[in-house]
Amino acid sequence: MQMTGAEIFVRTLADLGVETVFGYPGGAVLHIYDALFQHTKVRHMLCRHEQGAVHMADGYARASGKTGVCLVTSGPGATNTVTGIATAYMDSIPIVVFSGQVPTLLIGNDAFQEADIVGISRPCTKHNYLVKEAKDLPRVIKEAFYIASTGRPGPVLVDMPKDVLVSSARYVLPDKVDVRGYKPNYEGHPKQVESAMRMLLSSERPVVYAGGGVILSNASAELSELTRALSLPITTTLMGMGAFPGSDPLCLGMLGMHGTYQANMAISNADVILAVGARFDDRVTGKIDEFAPHAKIVHIDIDPTSIQKNVRVDVPIVGDLKDVLRKMIKSAKGRKDVAAFREKTSEWREQLADWAKTHPLSYKPAKDKIKPQYVVEQIYRITKGNAIITTEVGQNQMWAAQFYTYDKPRTFLTSGGLGTMGYGLPAAIGAQVAMPGRLVIDIAGDASIQMNIQELATAVQFGVPVKVVILNNRVLGMVRQWQELFFQGKYSETIQPKIPDFVLLAEAYGAKGFRATKTEEVASVLKKGFAAEGPVIIDVEVDPEEMVYPMVPAGAPLTKMLLV
């Protein structure tokens, strides 16, 4: 059956089960939009900026576990996606970005709206393609989805010249994918698993250190089973929040720069660390030379390049977390020394509980100012922990991590690796599209929300009922905090005396707006906002001088925490 490249593109997406594409049209992809016009299986959502489109695909992927899809035109349309692609790359999120390109004969000739997006995106994609013939489109697209979602997930870009989309070819979708040189290893080696178990059960002060890989591999149930079977204390990274129930007594909370006292002290005094789907990011390790000085380390990861990258590892295990953890659970069930191990480590757990009691997460309430931590606490109380939370980046992100408890995976969506301001709103829209029955809340700052606030129009157009809670302190809060602590209080370009009236701005876009200016108003305003139909902005005027604690200064060891 002969079809145009554009028709082949749409047909392939439909046959691969793609339901939603986030995108923005332009000259190079007009034939695709013409093919989409009468297509009923693939829904296109018109965004207001290509960066927003990528973040929506990203949020869709994180919330659903499916691969997110984005479609943009050539030149600036393509380059506008780079921040979103890099965001997904740093956090290992499976998305496929399709970009239009100028006709093949004009590539390299500085044609109108030409940009070498394949070259530009190479450092921040798992793989990318320049398609040269229409007949290759089904194979390339199927490979792109396979590569994005297997092994260590990540973004894949497919660049499609205009003449390829116009030309005709026979539509043939291959049954299988076979990418030369790409063979992810899913099965952890049994001997390494046994070595890890022996090391773990010989320890007296063990800690599990869980990252976003647990969520990406859908291994939360296995992690919980192993952790509870051995009574292992567990801390998570920012990306790993929800991988293990935050309300479980074994959970120590987040570790690292803004981690809890007990989590950082646990890592610093542990004798064995079981690292599961985490990559020892510098925000976690602090001063690398003094990270976990007493611990031997078992590291499980599907990406062999992540092992030994930042820290010395004693037992490396390459494989899918679900497979490796199942093997460890099986091993634990067959051992006689598990009961003795739990007894042996009880004193360690008591020490951790004591640290939690003496230095809990806290803040100083004030009668005349709304504390941002209080707002997050109220969001948790009202939602009972059942919302999907997205964040922007900065203080709002850290308070959302510290003062909302995440008991389930895929309920906390944030830009962890790249730290992308402007991520939260479009990611919330993508998550809401993926999970239409859930309450999705973006916890934002007044600065970060303005970086992609135009996507509120997308939410209004498509009736996506996301709720945005702005912790409005009229400053670039996290940068100001660093200036306060490390630059003698010189607030260079971080104060924003002029910001929009977010209530009026919400109404201008066709959404609803609410505002709280007093502590006693917060709960009722949040309830009204969450109950309102459609997209909502809730503007909460919080204390501009509030800071995020604990804090480990950059380059300091985890034990050198600044506390409230």
Question: Closest Cα to residue 54, out of 116, 142, 136, 121?
Answer: 121
**76 neighbors 115 (Cβ within 8 angstroms):** yes
Which of 487-512 are b and which e, b meaning 16 or more Cβ less than 10 Å from the residue's Cβ?
A: eeeeeeebeeeebeebbebbeebebb
Cα dihedral sign, 368-372-375-377:
negative
Say which residue the tokens 């450092």 belong to: 123
- CA–CA separation, 303 vs 301, rounded Å? 5
**68 neighbors 56 (Cβ within 8 angstroms):** yes
What is the 3 state secondary structure string of 378-429?
HHHHHHCCCCEEEECCCHHHHHHHHHCCCCCCCCEECCCCCCCCCCHHHHHH
Question: Which amino acid, residue 22?
Answer: F
Give the DSSP H or E segment for 276: strand 272-276
> At a CB cut-off of 8 Å and minimum separation 6, what does 31 contact?
4, 5, 6, 162, 165, 166
State the Cα angle at 51 between 47 and 53, rounded to 5°: 35
Q: Which residues are marked as active site?
A: 50, 112-113, 162, 478
**The token pair that represents 349 in the structure block:** 């757990």
Alpha helices (runs of H) in 417-469, residue ranges in sequence order: 424-434, 456-462
**535 neighbors 464 (Cβ within 8 angstroms):** yes
